[in-house]
Amino acid sequence: MAAKIRDYEKLAKDILEAVGGEENIVSAARCATRLRIVLKRSIPEAKAIVSEMPGVITVVETGGQFQVVIGQHVGEVFEEFSSLVKFDTTADTNDNKGTLLNRVIATMSAVFAPFVYILAAAGILQGLLILINLVFPSFSATGTYEVFSFISWAPFTFLPIFIAITASNHFKTNTYIAVAASAALVSPTWTEMAGRIASGESITFLGMALSQTVYTSSVLPPLFLVWILSYLERFLNKRIHEIVRPLFVPFLCLIVMVPLTILLIGPLSTLGANGIANGYNFLAENAPAVAGAIIGGFWQVLVIFGIHWGITPMVLANFDLYGRDSFQAYQTIAVIAQIGAVLGVIIKSKSQETRKLGVSAGVTGLFGITEPAIYGITLKFKKPFIFGSIAGAVGAITASFFNPYYFAYAGLPGPLTVVNGIGAESPSSIWGILIGSAIAIILPIVLIQIFGFGENLAKKASAENSEEDQSEMDMLNVNEESVHAPLRGQVIPLSEVSDEVFSSGAMGHGVAIEPLDNKLYAPFDGTVVMIALTKHAIGLRSNSGVELLAHIGIDTVKLNGKPFTVHVEDGAKIKKGDLLITFDRESIQKEGIQMTTPLIITNTHSYKEVIVEKILDGIVGDKLLTVVK
């Protein structure tokens, strides 16, 4: 639930506890909106628990990472999280679990995400200079323009140094050595030497001819440099005596890595990046409508899984080679389409809560950050995300007929960077982007007004059920639903539960029961959506959408499921009163474990109120909670 975060320290501690504590953490990083954690072992219930914490938008598990989507406050949460965890800096992070693709994606995210706002700020400054020059052509001849211009280009010129800092943290190598080596690549002396080589002069190093490759604005050469440096540094640290190690390790790393990069790593990696960029450009130039449809329609799908950073080297290679890029033009239209979908929901919705969340998500979308819009609105209701993707494809296809390009890199493409599409080389570019953006923002609004956005999906599904489900449909019509006691025992307030995750209400509102028997029954008609591997917890969803977590006992996860027997399967349809789980209460208590059983409405934020009925001793079937829409 996207509540405003104030206590970053508490949120960081809660997340750490939910994912298994410090001993279960391999590494952690952050991007523009996400805390990205690599775990030693998966915690089945962690996703559900963390997703419901105040300040967390959602959790995505992909690419070998446990990604906590937080939004604009992720920096503060990451800072607190980092202070709680001491990572093993001697471990070889390249041995992390996951496929090669997952590790590549994780690396790109860890490297680019920390400084993406710097690139975005520089891109906005370049866009403003473009606009000022259009209005005042003589401005480009002033010293003021020159100062602002070199400020806007500085982060791109010295991009290898930014990469050295973040990549050294990711690969666990000495940051200062990495920066020194990467600084050598952007040295004016090397740029001058490369220029002489390009003019026909032959320059050699130890008898080997040097290439004309320059490394300002480059991505892959410094990235590969730091990666290989991490192995070299560990190798040297193990073999050089500690007395002389501080001096000779940097010395040997520099005299090995810089020549190796300009002789081999740089030319090969630059060739690879340029090859990928040229492959995309071939598609964009020969079948622009296809390129537009793919990027406009599917870019936000990549964002969902957090793998969108993988495209950054190709985009930067385009700017470095040609001074322009069409990918970001189509990417902008895809972003604007999701904003249009959010606006459609705001207009159509009658829920004040949905409108409020939509406005917040829409504002962040203006800055090119769509995760709050996706997870909070469009993907939540499904239809808006689909409509947004369709609109993005249609808008990008339309723009493709105008040769759209960005002439200045945008760290976070979106509405504020549309001006980056203005360029004398392709005067029609900006018109294509503007027309495509207009389609992208209007089309999902129209589609949502015609077809709705999913608020009535549960009611529609209920209407299609058999006559025996009629009572459930009646319940929908009065905008409230009852949750009945799933077991017999003493009812206590949730605030009195000894586990702070439950008692704080971080997971949602509810109540707890001290069981007097050994059976847990279904509290309503619905579906089983989650069964913990250790059998101590079960997640249920009613036919109208109420989501309930029943957690039998406190800290019973460490019993590894031995005292529990589950009588249903994940995905099974259930009726109120069906037996779900039996457990050996006596053996659990002999282990010194509390039997207090929290019953949590995990999607509390979707409802106006959760009312706890005033009963002290619950009998199976008693009305326990009333959920009000």
* Calpha distance 576→578 (Å, rounded): 6
Q: CB under 8 Å to 205, separation ≥6 — which residues?
A: 259, 262, 263
Which SS3 state, helix, strand or coil, does residue 511 take? strand
What tokens does 211 get?
Answer: 């290439």
CA distance linking residue 378 with residue 22, whole number of Å = 34
Three-class secondary structure assignment of 382-407: CHHHHHHHHHHHHHHHHHHCCCCCEC
- Cα–Cα distance between 508 and 528 in angstroms, integer? 19
Cβ atoms 302, 253 nearer than 8 A = no
505 burial (CB, 10 Å; 0-12 / 13-18 / 19+) is middle
Among the listed residues 31, 308, 484, 536, the single catalytic one is: 31
Q: Which of 170, 551, 567, 605 is catalytic?
A: 551
Three-state DSSP at 602 gives coil
Q: Which of 125, 41, 28 is nearest to 78 (CA)?
A: 28
Contact 335, 395 (CB under 8 A): no
In what order do the strands lie in the sheet containing 509-515? 573-574, 526-531, 537-542, 547-551, 597-601, 509-515, 489-493, 617-618
Alpha carbons 238 and 507: distance in angstroms, whole number = 47
Q: Residue 253 catalytic? A: no
Q: Are 487 and 505 in contact (CB under 8 A)?
A: no
Q: What are phi and psi of 249, to 5 degrees?
A: -65, -50
Task: In whole angstroms, give the CA distance from residue 543 to residue 589.
Answer: 35
* Cβ neighbours of residue 558 closer than 8 Å, sequence gap 6 or more: none
| Contact predicate 545/603, CB 8 Å | yes
Entry field: residues in the chain: 629
Please give the DSSP secondary-structure letter assigned to residue 325: B
Q: What is the C-alpha separation between 285 and 325, in angstroms, rounded?
A: 11
- 551 catalytic, yes or no? yes
Q: How far apart are CA 1 and CA 51, in angstroms?
A: 7
How many alpha carbons fall within 13 Å on the CB side of residue 73? 18
Please give the structure tokens belonging to residue 361.
């998500």
For the four alpha carbons of 519, 525, 528 and 529, in that order, the dihedral sign comes to: negative
What is the maximum span of the chain, computed from C-alpha positions, in angstroms? 91
φ, ψ of residue 581 in degrees (nearest 5): -140, 140
Q: Rounded to the nearest 5°, which phi and psi values hold at 349? A: -70, 145
Distance separating alpha carbons of residues 233 and 230, to the nearest angstrom: 5
Q: Are 366 and 414 in contact (CB under 8 A)?
A: yes
301/374 Cα distance (integer angstroms): 10
User: Which pair of tokens denotes residue 369?
Assistant: 């950050």
Distance CA 76, CA 623 (A): 42
Q: Read off the tokens for 219.
A: 């991505």
Catalytic machinery residues: 31, 551
